Amino acid sequence: QLRLVESGGGSVQAGGSLRLSCAISQYTATPSYMGWFRQAPGKEREGVAGINNARSTIYADSVKGRFTISRDDAEETLFLQMDDLKPEDTGTYYCAARYGYRPLVRLLVSSEFEYWGQGAQVTVSS
């Protein structure tokens, strides 16, 4: 059973940066598609960024130009570099993974993913 564990969350002031990591373990094959999602209190989970095994990426409009998703299969890690953070970026961030082909545009849809981490809290103060 694929296991995902996030780290790197924390509290920062607006304009600051954080880097989230997601360690991948207990897998028989490298996941084809991975993504980052977030959930703010009282809101639904939303897609933030997705990446496929060809390193093609997709971002939510709200984070374009500020967040960067990347993956290092050799180190079995997914990353999310978050710059110029805003208070509205506050929430619990989850990494997710799946096998099997899906169009890139679907990587921001939570129901497309089979495996999830436990989440990492990000708090941005104004």
pLDDT beyond 90 at 53: no
Residue 122's pLDDT is 98
At residue 1 the predicted structure's pLDDT band, cuts being 50, 70 and 90, is confident
Q: Is the pLDDT of residue 2 over 80?
A: yes
Q: What is the pLDDT of residues 75-100, one digit of tens each?
A: 799 999 999 999 999 999 999 999 98
* Largest separation between any pair of C-alpha atoms in the chain: 43
pLDDT above 70 as % of the chain? 100
**Contacts for 15 with CB less than 8 Å, ≥ 6 apart:** 84, 85
H or E stretch including 103?
none
Cα angle for residues 80, 12, 36 (degrees, 5° grid): 20
Task: Give me the mean pLDDT over the 46-53 stretch.
Answer: 95
Contact call for residues 22 and 31 (beta carbons, < 8 A): no
Question: Chain centroid to CA 123: how far?
Answer: 15
What is the C-alpha to C-alpha distance for residues 4 and 21, in angstroms, rounded to an integer? 10
pLDDT of residue 101: 87
